[in-house]
């Protein structure tokens, strides 16, 4: 499987970048819900990339790490930043915040790229993430948007979205250890449930269910589960990383950054 495994891993990397581009295009077309679904799909492709790479039996190379980080910068950098900046709904409420949204979106993108460059050059061999990984940051932004913008479970609240997004953006470059979500990780189950819950939350919203309807309540409940999962990763995750975990030189191509 060595040759094929590496090929399949590269195809998963390509798919990750492609869905990131698709997410940006959906945002420009005014459909944030489909954009959020594609970002979550990118998370799945990024995890598949890492799994296939490890199963290939060959060490990850420089090209693979760079390609993976470029794809991540699109799906977990550009797309979440666009979620913050692009507003085709509630434009009147967002208009006074236009300069701030640009600043927060730009900061999130720049910090995501900085985090990925650091990972590619220096930290790919570490058994943990130094700073919050970009996929979890993207999921957190999705939660903020769901509750504070589209569909706005708590109403349209630009300040909530902007402050939350700025906070998780900053955590990408804060030297705090966060766990990698691999087999055996204590948070693997909760984070899988988180991603699935967010998909379940977004799918019914495509049909614009009336407030209080079954579809709306299902979406709200699933979004709350997703929010709880994200909070668990940020608040509990650093405590699950051993303080003296051994460092190996095995590349971790495809791990979420």
pLDDT band at 248 (very low <50, low <70, confident <90, very high): very low
As given in the structure block, the two tokens for residue 35 are: 């954009």
Residues 6+ apart with CB under 8 A from 99: none
Cα separation, 7 vs 33, whole angstroms: 31
Residues 6+ apart with CB under 8 A from 93: 156, 158
Cα separation, 188 vs 55, whole angstroms: 19
Give me the pLDDT at residue 2, please.
53
As given in the structure block, the two tokens for residue 160 are: 């909530």
Residue spans of alpha helices (H) in the chain: 2-28, 32-55, 62-73, 79-85, 91-94, 98-118, 134-148, 158-171, 188-205, 214-236
User: Among candidates 114, 228, 227, 120, which has minimal Cα distance to 172?
Assistant: 114
Pick from 60-69, 101-110, 206-215: least confident: 60-69
Read off the pLDDT of each residue in 67-81 and give the average, rounded to a whole number: 95
Give me the pLDDT at residue 246, please.
46
The model's pTM: 0.91
As given in the structure block, the two tokens for residue 80 are: 């979440």
Query: In the 8-state DSSP scheme, what is residue 247?
Result: P
Cα separation, 7 vs 49, whole angstroms: 10
Residues 6+ apart with CB under 8 A from 53: 5, 6, 9, 60, 64, 251, 253, 254
As given in the structure block, the two tokens for residue 67 are: 């390609």
Domain 2-240, what architecture?
A: Up-down Bundle (1.20)
Read off the pLDDT of each residue in 184-212 and give the average, rounded to a whole number: 94
pLDDT band at 252 (very low <50, low <70, confident <90, very high): very low
Cα separation, 26 vs 194, whole angstroms: 23
Burial of 117 (0-12, 13-18, 19+ CB in 10 A): middle
> Torsions phi, psi of 89, nearest 5?
-110, 150
Give me the pLDDT at residue 59, please.
54
User: Which helix H or strand E contains 178, and what residues bound it?
Assistant: strand 177-178
Give me the pLDDT at residue 120, please.
85
Pick from 9-18, 75-84, 167-176: least confident: 9-18
Indicate the average pLDDT of the chain: 89
Cα separation, 49 vs 137, whole angstroms: 19
CB 69 within 8 A of CB 116: yes
């Amino acid at each position: 499987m060595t040759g094929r495994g590496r090929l399949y891993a590269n195809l998963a990397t390509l798919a990750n970048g492609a869905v990131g581009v698709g997410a940006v295009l959906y945002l420009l077309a005014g459909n944030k819900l489909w954009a959020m679904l594609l970002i979550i799909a990118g998370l799945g492709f990024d995890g598949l990339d890492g799994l296939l790479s490890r199963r290939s039996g060959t060490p990850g190379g420089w090209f693979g790490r760079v390609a993976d980080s470029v794809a991540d910068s699109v799906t977990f950098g550009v797309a979440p930043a666009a979620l913050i900046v692009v507003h085709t709904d509630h434009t009147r409420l967002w208009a006074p915040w236009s300069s701030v949204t640009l600043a927060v979106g730009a900061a999130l993108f720049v910090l995501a790229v900085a985090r990925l460059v650091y990972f590619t050059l220096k930290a790919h061999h570490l058994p943990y993430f130094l700073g919050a990984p970009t996929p979890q940051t993207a999921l957190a932004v999705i939660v903020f948007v769901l509750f504070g913008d589209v569909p706005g479970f708590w109403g349209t609240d630009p300040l909530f979205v902007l402050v939350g997004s700025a906070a998780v953006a900053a955590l990408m470059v804060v030297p705090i250890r966060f766990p990698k979500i691999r087999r055996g990780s204590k948070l693997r189950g909760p984070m899988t449930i988180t991603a699935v819950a967010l998909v379940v939350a977004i799918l019914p919203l495509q049909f614009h269910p009336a407030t209080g309807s079954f579809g709306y309540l299902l979406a709200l409940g699933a979004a709350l589960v997703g929010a709880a999962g994200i909070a668990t990763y940020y608040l509990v995750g650093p405590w699950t990383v051993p303080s003296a975990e051994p460092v190996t030189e095995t590349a971790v191509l495809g791990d979420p950054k």
